[in-house]
Structure 1
């Protein structure tokens, strides 16, 4: 996973206030706006007890709950620093629990988890309920949306929505296929999901350009799509459950290959920190453990990360703070433009939950 979406956040000087909040407007709740305000007040008290400054809290108060136009269940991640909004992101699902943190580094891991698996895809729904013949009267409707799962749930992509006479469908499907190929290529889609009437969708699939046709997954039932949410959302959730993006899978395969031959890879927190200090990390693999006790020492700059305070002091770092290991690792990854891959422990257990694929092998390790 590329972490470029976090770059604006780390351009701000800390300390940071970080909040994860359920901002769903649940119809079952009598006054959903009041419920959101109550959740925020509790988190605001938590931030005050941790030493957050009033200006940062005021900046956050003006942003929390500003997503009233987003339908369905969702949440917000809000980050402020020194009285200014540093980053705002919509969460595809509400956080497991509402949390607040104030510290030298922002608490970014819950946001990253909600961006995963980050699968680029194209969804197409062909609506038709008439006679299966091109001499039938009437029209059919095609909806299509290119997006990245699961973010498209709350930030839908550009929607294509066209009505086409049934009599023209055989010809129009070829033109539609070429247009869809352009949308898929633009985002690097790895999957094309097609649903709808079996006859109408079959004509479309058969007329897609060959490269796109090889990526097609057909859904027998589309399910209802909620306005303002991702096209085919419920079926996409089933399809992508437990799946890694192809890009991340390729990085993981490279890591496993290097580990098998004792090449450009390493495991454990000490090895990862050492590689990050020298800018050698191409990708870091992490078993996400929110309850992890591991801590690291950090300085003002992204590469200033160490296992012990004295190590940073020996490098001439005057301002050193102890932070959660995952927060420190993420900042270092963003600063060195390395990538992060979340790996379920059931799929691959990593020593201390951390592994790295290096940009190049250490010559000394081959002697």
Structure 2
């Protein structure tokens, strides 16, 4: 997950209100229900020590969701009476929750707004193609290609003139396939889509695939299900889910391999809170791997005002010269360091089954940058 969008949360000091709201169950009573949710979240924040201005800002932000089309939910991060960030969630949270803490509670975003592959579904026929973007937030049109319209039908006659006509048909199909492939490549460049799903007859799918740039071939999936088929919708979601699993498994494989010293005796992986804290202070985090249910994720660490001021024990911060310190969850503290040093992060929750104990010790690990 690219964490750059979280930067506004670390440009100002805390404490922070962090709220996750489920908006997936929309009914005629949704605005009223969200008002009740807003009041409950505001009350919970006040009980945890939040100031009234920040609690009210959160309440107003939640009430405003009554007119929002968010299909799953929203996170709200606020301090000193203002909402600093309110990202839309790609998955519904497991219930509404409010936290008042020195750092924003961002770790749940790795699962709720993290790996959400964008797919271009291309509906292909001999005349052209329609493109549609799909993600967890829904679908939207992404353009169309209209190729040559004539001739497009074959004949079974052996007459020379008819064979000449068939040649024109072949040329038309090839021309249209090339135009579709070019437009699809442009659409992928513009959207950054992770997947290209081709829908249509086998021959048209194949001809478009063959004309795509080689760099895109590994992103292509061909579907045999037609436009409007419920089976197509199911397949698109399966393809998106499989993509997430494969990506996480690939990163886990990188981590496992990096545990072993290379030819120069260097280890490119670290795990456990003490090692990760040291790596964070040295700006060596490349990609955090977090198992949400791991015991180290909620382990207490100590932080100062600066992201580099991070320690396992409070006395360590005092030795480093930090006068002010607060306790924080290890996952949120490490994510602050990752955001401010342009590192990435990944939740392992989607592939925990079958991985055994071959995941980062305690549930926290990282791939390391070279010194």
Classify the TM-score, shorter chain: 0.7 to 0.9
Query: Could you tell me whether the CA contact under 8 Å between 1:205 and 1:213 is conserved in 2?
Result: yes
Partner of residue 340 from structure 2, selected from 303, 311, 335:
335
Deviations 1:135-194 (A, max 9, x none): xxxx7651233x7xxxx3227677224566754772333212112102223455443112
Offset of residue 68 of structure 1: 5.2
Partner of 2:186: 182
CA distance in 2, matches of 1:58, 1:158: 38
CA distance in 2, matches of 1:6, 1:39: 25
Cα separation, partners in 2 of 1:251 and 1:293, compared to 1, 3 Å: closer
Deviations 1:187-223 (A, max 9, x none): 5544311224556545543443444345320122367
Partner of 1:319: 324
Q: Secondary structure in 2 aligned to 1:13?
A: coil
Cα separation, partners in 2 of 1:321 and 1:224, compared to 1, 3 Å: farther
Could you say which structure has the larger radius of gyration? 2
Partner of 1:364: none
Partner of 1:257: 257
CA distance in 2, matches of 1:155, 1:86: 25
Query: Could you tell me whether the CA contact under 8 Å between 1:296 and 1:306 is conserved in 2?
Result: yes
1:280 to 2:284 alignment? yes
Q: Secondary structure in 2 aligned to 1:62?
A: helix
Partner of 1:191: 195
Q: Secondary structure in 2 aligned to 1:107?
A: coil
Where do 1:1-367 residues align within 5 Å? 1-24=1-24, 26=26, 29-67=27-65, 71=69, 73-126=71-124, 142-145=130-133, 152-154=135-137, 159-161=142-144, 167=150, 170=173, 171-196=175-200, 198=202, 200-221=204-225, 224=228, 234-241=234-241, 243-244=243-244, 251-261=251-261, 263-289=267-293, 292-343=297-348, 344-346=351-353, 347=355, 348-360=358-370
Q: Tell me, which stretches of 5 or more residues in structure 1 are unaligned?
A: 129-133, 227-231, 362-367
Compute the TM-score of the two structures, normalised by the length of structure 1: 0.80
Compute the TM-score of the two structures, normalised by the length of structure 2: 0.79
CA distance in 2, matches of 1:272, 1:19: 27
Offset of residue 77 of structure 1: 0.5
Offset of residue 103 of structure 1: 1.2
Q: Secondary structure in 2 aligned to 1:179?
A: helix
CA distance in 2, matches of 1:22, 1:235: 26
Query: Could you tell me whether the CA contact under 8 Å between 1:194 and 1:217 is conserved in 2?
Result: yes
Query: Could you tell me whether the CA contact under 8 Å between 1:15 and 1:104 is conserved in 2?
Result: yes
Cα separation, partners in 2 of 1:242 and 1:300, compared to 1, 3 Å: farther
Partner of 1:229: none
CA distance in 1, matches of 2:257, 2:305: 35
Deviations 1:222-254 (A, max 9, x none): 67599xxxxx76433212325447776655443
Query: Could you tell me whether the CA contact under 8 Å between 2:310 and 2:317 is conserved in 1?
Result: yes
Q: Secondary structure in 2 aligned to 1:323?
A: strand
Query: Could you tell me whether the CA contact under 8 Å between 2:132 and 2:139 is conserved in 1?
Result: no
Q: Tell me, which stretches of 5 or more residues in structure 2 are unaligned?
A: 153-171
CA distance in 2, matches of 1:354, 1:78: 25
- Number of aligned positions between the proteins: 339
